[in-house]
Structure 1
């Protein structure tokens, strides 16, 4: 039976309905807020190859009950890769490491298609919860006062609420409104990393009749495949999903040609075949890559952003989450998970702040306090997001510098690291536990916030990639 949470009377406008925005819509509804979701695209479909959900993200989704008694997390598990391990090879094709994956817990990790994740979130938000999500809507302007906030959409329609959440991606309009940056200043925060990635996912029928490519589907009826091939300046990941229903591959590489930042622009597979042509394992990998259907390969630069000065607007009625606030490289597998954490934490903080006010007036709805606490938990006093963001750039370098053939690659777990401080984190419980502490720190003034000790990131503020997830989850460390 679903627990009924009293409404808060807070109306939240969410701009952008990708992973962050849809999760925010669902979590805000679950916390008793009214939600209006806006998306400029006309459909829910999103391109992309695979996306990883780790336990910290799945903990949130596992609390969403379906009408049939299961959870959204279990639905996603049925759509994702069914893995027992991830295998790491040298460019010569020699198996170097086998990392157990998913064997101890069904929520230890999950890989699935980005489109399947977004579609599942959408279906839950609309079919199960009946949320007001509007597609094909372009936001032209943002505004806020001391008591309200809202947007003006194409056609001059004015939509009002108590709070605006900007989940509109790396090229967010909301972010510049909050920071006050000019378009030139906002563009200057974009950082090229020197890397790029080819991505592809396609139906397995494309390789099913090719004797040289069929190897990728071997034993797919019982388990999926996830393999990583590490070479100097080039990394190939390849595998299957849905017990062999889909084949996927990607290729991270140095980017001397400055690939486009447009991640939905189709690309040729020819450069990938050239990158690996001297690898002893090239024939095996090329057989699969060469079967990629036309229009199913995309190449784009890997970019991130400098941490922005603030996630919250001047009057405390607008906030950014997900890629609009922070852009991760894929090498830590935390882009989706941190977006989910952002969404859950902002929803909880809005609930707690509204409950801490006895007055029901709009002037005292608690929204500015909630958003500032959320920002402090995620980025400032608890710098979880910025540490993981920096760690994703470090992980890219370690991976591209790997030399598995000579055995001098360094830490093998950068290929698929599961540090407990990331994966075992429960962002909802943490927000409940730390909310009043952050409020006290804010009430004492920004200069006194040093007394607050963050508990959601390493004490030294550095990224630690040790694969201690299994030990921590078993209570051994």
Structure 2
């Protein structure tokens, strides 16, 4: 336990955005004893999206915040997932489902559970209240109707199109094409009951992944076949359009699956409609905190993940926990210390989690290019490597490392020289932390320049 003083003054925290990251932030702040209020521009949330995973690293924290059993009930009940060859469905590897994303459920169902728990805690959520401006020095938010609301600290959990991020960076951060896109579909499984080839996929909860050259498909069955989901990631060079709601071309989808194992291709072919989501990326940010140190970014606004990382929501939950503990340890009169320690504690772990997603995508998309059709593939070469992330306890780690990191930050604040997380002029420079098998840092942080530059951060909505 760190020796730093935990002050009892009740901080006022504004969270901008009531998505999964915003709800996690609200719960973490409430758990720390702060006064929390959430502002969300959407008037009413719909049951949108498709599959979402929550790993043990997130569930450990959510259990402390009173949100655990509800999520387990929602999640996929399959013990294992199968990674298969694209053209014939041959099983290349079998892994525990927890190695992928923990409990996989419908994003909308998980979001409803998060929102319900926030409201149970008595945290106000003001729906239909669009934030149009920030005053970072007070700090305050200004709503579309002209009202201004002040707080001690503001958390920008406003997603991939974050307005708070533009304030923190000082410029508009335009997305760039990653060269990939996803066709996504989620529907009731009833129409599949008349398709003989796919019966093995709809009898009970299951997760299967078909990997091919420059493409892969993830299939998820929920509620014993009542609901069905597939996602195809493929090469795409079309114009960027960051949207979850762009209709997909089912004729193009059917062309993509023409040589796919009939077990899943038969289910894709009878799907009535899908969405076309262009996967975009942004460079790693130089900072997650405003110049006044009073506005901090969290979740997709600063560390969005690829779908193949299966950690976007889990890492946002971790960030919420770390920021809450930092604010608690620093006290109401030292918000800058809290927010700057927060970003330094989080950047390296989040970056490695993001790179995990890029690594597994690239291995899946290239492994079959390197072998003959009759050649055996080492199962380890296609497995998801997320297990190291799960034993980590974000709250405990923050307490353990507070003294070391707060000393560094105090020196930076005193000198006025805040070292960036990423330097756009000289390339990526990050604090690289090596973790042991239990997700604990092996040693103190070290400054390491990456040469050649590390892969770009990919945006997930």
* TM-score bin (small chain): 0.7 to 0.9
Q: 1:125 aligns with which of 118, 121, 124?
A: 118
Cα 1:414–1:377 shift into 2, 3 Å: farther
SS at match of 1:20: helix
SS in 1 for 2:68: helix
Matched residue, 2:65:
64
Corresponding residue for residue 242 of structure 2 = 261
Contact 1:16 1:167 in 2 (8 A): yes
Matched residue SS, 1:199: strand
Q: Secondary structure at the match of 1:325?
A: helix
Aligned equivalent of 2:76: 81
User: Which SS does the other structure have where 1:313 is aligned?
Assistant: coil
Determine if the alignment matches structure 1 residue 286 to structure 2 residue 286.
no
Matched, 1:244 2:225: yes
Q: Which residue, out of 309, 313, 334, partners 1:366?
A: 334
| Correspondence 1:45 to 2:46 | yes
**Contact 1:353 1:369 (8 Å CA) reproduced:** yes
1:156 to 140, 143, 146: 146
Partner residue of 1:396 out of 354, 361, 364: 361
The Cα offsets for residues 389-414 of structure 1, whole Å up to 9 and x where unpaired, read as: 23322332222213174547677455
Which one of 307, 310, 321 corresponds to residue 344 of structure 1?
Answer: 321
Provide, for residues 433-461 of structure 1, a one-character-per-residue CA deviation record: whole Å limited to 9, x for no partner.
11121111223348899999776568797
Q: 1:179-194 counterparts in 2 under 5 A? A: 179-181=169-171, 183=172, 186-187=173-174, 190-194=175-179
CA distance in 2, matches of 1:123, 1:448: 39
Q: Which residue of 1 aligns with 2:181?
A: 196
Describe the SS at the equivalent of 1:284. Answer: helix
Instruction: Kindly provide the CA deviation profile for residues 100-133 of structure 1, in whole angstroms up to 9, marking residues without a partner as x.
Output: 3359xxx98211111111110000111x211111
8 Å CA contact retained: 1:20, 1:343: yes
Distance in 2 separating the partners of 1:108 and 1:178: 31
| Cα-Cα RMSD | 2.7
What CA distance in whole angstroms lies between the structure 2 residues aligned with 1:453 and 1:47? Answer: 36
Matched with 1:469 is: none
- Choose which of 153, 167, 170 in structure 2 pairs with 1:177: 167
**Match for residue 384 of structure 2?**
416
Secondary structure of the residue that 2:195 maps to in structure 1?
coil
CA distance in 2, matches of 1:458, 1:333: 24
Comparing both chains, which one has the higher relative contact order based on Cα–Cα distances under 8 Å and sequence gaps of 6 or more? 2
Provide closer, same or farther for how the CA distance between residues 314 and 243 of structure 1 changes in structure 2, counting only shifts above 3 A.
same
The answer to whether the 8 Å contact 1:6/1:32 transfers is no
Alpha carbons of structure 1 residues 171 and 408: separation in structure 2 relative to 1, 3 Å: farther
SS of residue matched to 2:224: coil
* Match of residue 378, structure 1, among 334, 337, 346: 346
CA distance in 1, matches of 2:344, 2:125: 29
Shift of the 247–413 alpha-carbon distance from structure 1 to 2, 3 Å rule, reads farther
Unpaired stretches in structure 2, ≥5 consecutive residues: 1-5, 420-429, 451-461
Q: Given the alignment, which residue of 276, 279, 288 partners 1:299?
A: 276
Contact 2:93 2:382 (8 Å CA) reproduced: no
Aligned residue number for residue 428 of structure 1:
395
Length-normalised TM-score, structure 1 = 0.81
5+ residue gaps in structure 1? 66-71, 355-363, 463-477
Q: 1:372 to 1:267 in 2, by over 3 A?
A: same
Contact 2:93–2:383, Cα closer than 8 Å, also in 1: no
Aligned mates of 1:35, 1:176 — CA distance in 2? 23
CA offset at residue 258 of structure 1?
4.3
